[in-house]
Amino acid sequence: ILNVEQSPQSLHVQEGDSTNFTCSFPSSNFYALHWYRWETAKSPEALFVMTLNGDEKKKGRISATLNTKEGYSYLYIKGSQPEDSATYLCALGGSARQLTFGSGTQLTVLP
């Protein structure tokens, strides 16, 4: 079982603040790193998939970076809005046909 860790577990920020959180994973068994956004009472939805060291992906105000050598990925949100409030999950794609999910970072953006 791959160990995928996310920090912090939860985060409160003011509207307009920028924020970031971390996903750590074992660098020795890396194939792909996924980020999902999970709103309360909904299903997780994919944000990014990254495979190469140094990858950087962007979607609007959200971006992510990947360092496979040291085993971490950062997710950044610029100018947080209340609608960004959600749990952000990262998941590691390894050698088996499955993803291993971290426990998530719960973001609350206060108006």
Partner 1 sequence: NAGVTQTPKFQVLKTGQSMTLQCAQDMNHNSMYWYRQDPGMGLRLIYYSASEGTTDKGEVPNGYNVSRLNKREFSLRLESAAPSQTSVYFCASMPRGLNTDTQYFGPGTRLTVL
Chain residues binding partner 1 by CB under 8 A are 1, 9, 31-32, 34, 36, 42-46, 49, 51, 89, 91, 93-95, 97-104
77-88: buried (b, 16+ CB within 10 Å) or exposed (e) per residue? beebeeebbbbb
Least CB distance to partner 1 at residue 7 (A): 13
Least CB distance to partner 1 at residue 81 (A): 23
The number of beta carbons lying within 10 Å of the beta carbon of residue 30 is 19
Evaluate whether 2 touches 29 at the Cβ level (below 8 Å). Answer: yes
Considering beta carbons, is residue 18 or 31 the nearer one to partner 1? Answer: 31
Least CB distance to partner 1 at residue 31 (A): 4
Considering beta carbons, is residue 42 or 111 the nearer one to partner 1? Answer: 42
Considering beta carbons, is residue 86 or 91 the nearer one to partner 1? Answer: 91
What is d(CA 77, CA 52) in angstroms, rounded to the nearest whole number? 21
Evaluate whether 28 touches 85 at the Cβ level (below 8 Å). Answer: no
